[in-house]
Structure 1
Amino acid sequence: MVDPFDSKKQFLEFTNNIGFEGKFYALSLQGTLGIMEEINSCLVITRIGKSRAVPSVTARYFKEYSLESNGQILLVFLIYCKTLGAVDKVEVFRLYIPKLSWIKLENLQERVSGDNGWCTYDMESGCVSTGLEAKSLSWNEPTEQE
């Protein structure tokens, strides 16, 4: 299947995926969301998102990570604006599954806690700091019990 957001009309090449409620949600190199299901022992693309999953700011480079938290699929962007050596901004989006659209989150509510020794990102101020300096919160990976 051709990636609808690839200017060269190349095939979908998935790089980031997560299993959720019996389906696989995967992002292509161009930010296209594809939903795959196992049908007759084969993975089949059953739906394609209508918009790209990309950061809302201009960046030199970014990395994305998909994860499940509190029954939702989240997409975290680590954004490098000035140099490739340091993250300048972090954006988190939640997948609204019925419309396959990404909703930008302004905070992570109870899903976070402080953590000394790690860099933290304050979503309110947009600042990255060490754990000792942080007045805000760092990400804790959800456990199976949550």
Structure 2
Amino acid sequence: MVSVYDFEVNKPNGDKLSLEAYKGKPLIIVNTASKCGFAPQFGGLQSLYEQYKDDGLMILGFPCDQFNDQEFDNIDETTEFCQLNYGVTFPMMAKVDVNGDDAEPLFNHLTSEQKGLLSKKIKWNFTKFLVDGNGQVIKRYAPQTAPEKLAEDVEKLL
């Protein structure tokens, strides 16, 4: 059975990161966009991270520019924006595509495990996936779902 831990992703500096490093921890994986109307969710995600990181929660942000060009071209601008405007300390990864032929393989896995309302395709920025400590995708949240609404589900996994 394939799990999230079977994937490697790119850090902003281009280094590879095996998600196996997070084995045993619940994860929230989210596609982000700095210039999106949902960007204030960075603050909510950071609050969730601060509240539960000592219990094992990890949040991974994946900048994506597939929806109305709402991400900076330069990944350094993205990470700086997140840190300065929302105090983000959870890991941000390299910019990815979440749909289409060039989609990040991790997102192909996430969307095949938890389909959206009408299709498996991600429709907008800030689609969030909750992964349990065994690397299984257990829930998908719509972009408009505020991060604090994930707290109850996160607590069940800790």
> Do they fold alike, i.e. is TM over 0.5?
no
TM-score by length of 1: 0.27
TM-score by length of 2: 0.26
Larger radius of gyration: 1
Greater helix share, 1 or 2? 2
Greater strand share, 1 or 2? 1
